[in-house]
Structure 1
Amino acid sequence: MSLDISVIVPLKNEEESLPELVAWIDRVMQENNFTYDIWMVDDGSTDSSWEVIQRLAAADPQHIKAIRFRRNYGKSAALNEGFRAAQGNVIITMDADLQDSPDEVPELYRMIVEDGYDLVSGWKKKRYDNALTKNLPSKLYNWTTTKMSGVALHDMNCGLKSYRKKVVKSIEVYGEMHRYIPVIAKWAGFSKIGEKPVEHRARKYGVTKFGLERFINGFLDLASIMFIGKFGKRPMHLFGALGTVFFLLGFGIAFYLGFAKIAFDRYNMTDRPIFYLAILFMIIGSQLFLTGFIGELVARNAPERNTYLIEEKIS
C-alpha cells in the first residue's frame, strides 16, 4: 500500500516531548485522512528516549517505526537513514523538540503534490531563539549560503521541510550537510524549491543540542558541497586552471628577469627577491596541476563516476 506521507523525526534526548509530538502528528494525519508512518531516528540518546519510542511503537505498530544508533553520529546521519527507510510519496522532516508544528504538514504536503515543488523549506519568520547566539548568526549564514549557491531561502536550516520521494532517494547527507539539503537537491537536478512561512514555538522541554561550533562546521561543509557540486566529476577543471595561472605567472616573472639580465646585465637574477617568488609560483602551479591529475584518476576510478540522475527515458 502506498503511503501519502512519511514523517522523519531525528532526535537525541527528547524523552519528554515524544509522546506529545506523536499524538499531535497522529491527530493532524487523522483529520486530513492521510496514510502515513513516522520514522523516529534515535541519534545516540543517553536518557530514556528509546524506551519511550518502544512504548509508542508497541501501542501503534502500524504507524510508529524507529531506528536507533549505537552512538551519536549527528543529525545528518539520522536524516540519511530516515531517507533510506521512508516510503511515503511525500517525506516530511521535523525536529522532536516541539518547536516545529505538525499543523503545517497539510500545506507542506499540498505544495509538493499540487504545486509541483520538489522541496519546500519552512521559514521561521518569528523565532523564539536567543537573538545573539542563534538569530544573527543564522541570518549571516543564510545570506552567505544564498550568495554562494544561488538557492534563495530565508531559513536554509529549518528542520521542517517536505520533499518529493525521488529527492530523498537521490541524495546523500553526511557530516553537517543537513543544513544544505536544498543546495544538495539543486545540484542533483531538483531545482523547483519553495519556501513556506511556518510557526516557530518556544522549546517546551530540555535544552538545545547545538553549540556555536556548528557555524564553523557549516561553513566548511558549504565549501565542500560547492566544490563537489561543480567539480566532483571534473576536478582538473579547477586545479588545472589554478595550476596554469600560477605556473604562467611564475614563468612570466622568470622570463622577465632573464631578459633583463641578458639585455642590461646589471645584476644577478638570484639577487632579486622576486626571483624566488617566481620559483614559488611555478612550484605551486605544478603541484596544483598534479593534484588535478590525481583527482581525475580518483574520479575516473570511483564507482559513481558515470552515475547520473535520469528524469525520463523512452526506449
Structure 2
Amino acid sequence: MNITLLIPLLNEAESLPELHAWITKVMQQNNYSYELVFIDDGSTDDSWKIIETLSVTDTHVKGIRFQKNFGKSQALHAGFAMAKGDVVITMDADLQDSPDEIPSLYQMIVNDGYDLVSGWKKKRYDSVVSKNLPSKLFNWAARKTSGVQLNDFNCGLKAYSNKVVKNIDVYGEMHRYIPVLAKNAGFNKIGEKVVQHQARKYGVSKFGMNRFVNGFLDLITIWFLSKFGKRPMHLFGALGVIMFIVGFCSAAFIGIYKLYKLSVHEPAVLVANNPWFYISLTAMILGTQLFLAGFLGEIILRTKNNEPRYKISTKSNL
C-alpha cells in the first residue's frame, strides 16, 4: 500500500464529506493505493455517523472512535499503530490543509529519501494576535531548544516513512514535537515544504491561547526527556551529589572554624546560631532528596508497564 492518510478530528461533521471527496479525487488522479483513517477524538456532533456512512460507500475509509476526548496526540498514536502504508500522511479535518499537497509530500519521502517532511504554512489566514505571533515565538523557542530547524512545528500536514511512525511514541500533547521525537529516535533526514493554508470554512477552532502555554511546558518536558529520559540519575544524581558535597564542606568548615576558635581560647558563636549551618543542612537534605529522585526514576524506568493511554469504543472497516 502506498499511502495511509490519518485524520484526527473533533466535531468536524460539516467538513468531512467535502474533505473525503477532495482526498478521493487527488488519490484517483495519481492512482495511489491508499487507506483513509479518520480518528474521531470524542466528537459530540454527527462526525462518527458520517465516518460510518463513508466507510460503507468507500472501502478505503476506516474509522476509529474514542470513548471521549483524549487529545490529538493520542489520536495520532492510535493511527500510527494501525497504519499500513509505506508513507503516512497526517492532516487536519477542518479543510485548512490542502489534499493537493499529498503527491509532492509523498514524492519527498519516496524519491528524495526523507524520513519526515513537515508542512510550513508560510502564509496564514489566522488571527495575527491569537495565533501568528504566538506561533512564531513558539517555533523560535522550539528550534533553539530542540536543534530541529523547522519554521512551523504546529502544522498538522506532515508526511512520514512507515518506519518513523512505528518507532516513535506520541503521548501527552507531544504531537507538536513529532519531528523532535523522530530525531531523538535516530531519524535525522527531516525536511520542510511550504504548503497552502486555507481559511477555516466550517465551525470554529478547537485551540485557545492555553495551547501555547502547554506547548512551552511540553517543550521543556521533551528537552528533559531527550537528554535524561533514559538516565534520570545522570541529572538528579549529579545535582544531588554536588549539593550534598557543598553542604557537607560548608558544615565541615563551620565545625573546624569553631574548633579553631576554641583552641586559641577565643569566644565562638554557637554552631546552631550560625546561619550557614542551616544553609549547609538544607543543601545536604536537598542533595539527598535529588539523589533519591534519580534513583527512583531509574527504578520506575525498569519496572513500568506500557498501558494504553486511550480506549477505543468502536472501529469501522478495521
Q: TM-score, normalised by structure 2?
A: 0.91
How far apart, in 2, do the equivalents of 1:272 and 1:138 lie?
Answer: 51
Within 5 Å, which residues of 2 pair with 1:17-166? 17-61=15-59, 63-166=60-163
Q: Deviation of residue 219 (structure 1)?
A: 2.3
Aligned to 2:264: none
The residue matched to 2:118 in structure 1 has which SS?
strand
Q: Deviation of residue 51 (structure 1)?
A: 1.2
Which digits, 9 at most, give the CA deviation of each residue in 1:154-194, with x for residues without a partner?
Answer: 10111000000011111121211111111111111111111
How far apart, in 2, do the equivalents of 1:247 and 1:137 lie?
Answer: 41
How far apart, in 2, do the equivalents of 1:17 and 1:295 lie?
Answer: 45
Aligned to 1:269: 271
Structure 2 unaligned segments of length 5 or more: list them: 262-266, 307-318
Alignment RMSD (CA, Å): 1.4
| Range that drifts further, 206-215 or 258-267 | 258-267
Aligned to 2:183: 186
Q: Deviation of residue 225 (structure 1)?
A: 2.0
Q: Which amino acid aligns with 1:47?
A: D
How far apart, in 2, do the equivalents of 1:69 and 1:119 lie?
Answer: 27
Aligned equivalent of 1:294, options 272, 293, 296 = 296
The residue matched to 1:6 in structure 2 has which SS?
strand
Which digits, 9 at most, give the CA deviation of each residue in 1:248-299, with x for residues without a partner?
Answer: 1212222222232222353222222222111111100011111111122222
Aligned to 1:279: 281
Q: Which amino acid aligns with 1:201?
A: Q
Q: Deviation of residue 124 (structure 1)?
A: 0.5
The residue matched to 2:182 in structure 1 has which SS?
helix
- Does 1 or 2 have the higher relative contact order (CA < 8 Å, sep 6+)? 2
Q: Deviation of residue 303 (structure 1)?
A: 6.2
The residue matched to 1:88 in structure 2 has which SS?
coil
Aligned to 1:311: none
Structure 1 unaligned segments of length 5 or more: list them: 305-315
Aligned to 1:241: 238
How far apart, in 2, do the equivalents of 1:146 and 1:249 lie?
Answer: 35
Provide the aligned length of Structure 1 versus Structure 2.
301
Q: TM-score, normalised by structure 1?
A: 0.92
Q: Deviation of residue 229 (structure 1)?
A: 2.2
Deviating above 4 A after TM superposition, structure 1's stretches of 4 or more consecutive aligned residues are none
How far apart, in 2, do the equivalents of 1:76 and 1:292 lie?
Answer: 28
Identity of aligned residues (%): 61
Aligned to 2:315: none
How far apart, in 2, do the equivalents of 1:124 and 1:255 lie?
Answer: 60
